[in-house]
Amino acid sequence: MTFFELWKWGESRLADAGIREADLDAKYLLLEAFEMDLAHFLLKEQEQVPSTDGRTREYSDAVSARASRVPLQYLTGKQDFMGLTFCVDERVLIPRQDTETLAELVLKENREKEISLLDLCTGSGCLAVSLAVLGGYEDVDAGDISPDALEVAKENSRRLGAKVRFYEGDLFAALDGEKAYDVIVSNPPYIPTEVIEGLEPEVRDYEPRMALDGDEDGLAFYRRLAEESPAHLKPGGRLYLEIGWDQGEAVEELLRDNGFEKTEVVKDDAGNCRVVRGEKPAAGILAGG
């Protein structure tokens, strides 16, 4: 069997299992198993796969796992975000391209390297690490309630050379001291509990439930972030929250109810509401703050 034929065998297995991008997933798994890049695959695709090479079994096992709907990123152990490659596994939510809308907005509106930034519900660390690296920010903190997730985030920070301090705890309870920030960002759990069972198996059965479940209406974490953020923001500080496509109006209202100014719902490249941002007044006291 040639490498090309092995790829097509994997594609057929995945297509039979209902995987939508069976050809691409089969190719990614083959490249990973045989430690090849695409250029080497194109050179070798008509060569025979060595019959004694255990990597054929590794590929077969990976295809079987993908056919059972294990996410591709958990099988390859990586996912790109903002042009950086992050390690991922079952301990963390897989970074989505949608979240790049939030990162890009923060970088656009905060060009000063001296700002202090906090990322809550950091998960894999994709936001905190990419902002630290691409924005050149040197005062970046990140928190998560999951010690397992923090292990992944710390590894990503180390690998990518980011200067990020990590704290374990429930939202602001993770922080050390009374520090106030110029910027707070968060991609919190925001899927309503009853909706989770209807998600694709890759998400429902494999990604961490605690990183998905936003309680009955999906807004539980937004209520807390809107109420608690003011005490941890400097005057004029900015809050950026990723949201679900239908949550813009509700989350923006929560921010306004807690005294935030210049609130705005920002859409992603697909035209869906994706980020809500707001500012703490430069003077005066916010409700709850």
* Annotated binding-site members for S-adenosyl-L-methionine: 144, 187
Residue 191 is classified by DSSP as B
Integer Rg of the chain from CA: 21
Edge-to-edge strand ranges of the sheet holding 273-279 = 164-168, 139-144, 116-120, 181-186, 233-242, 273-279, 261-267
Binding residues for substrate: 187-190
Nearest to 63 by CA among 127, 129, 130, 12: 12
**By three-state DSSP, how is residue 30 classified?**
helix
Burial 149-186 (b: 16+ CB within 10 A, else e): bbebbbebbeebebebebbeeebbebbeeeeebbbbbb
Nearest to 255 by CA among 220, 274, 234, 230: 230
Binding residues: 144, 187-190
Query: For residue 198, what are the contacts with CB-CB under 8 A and spacing of at least 6?
Result: 204
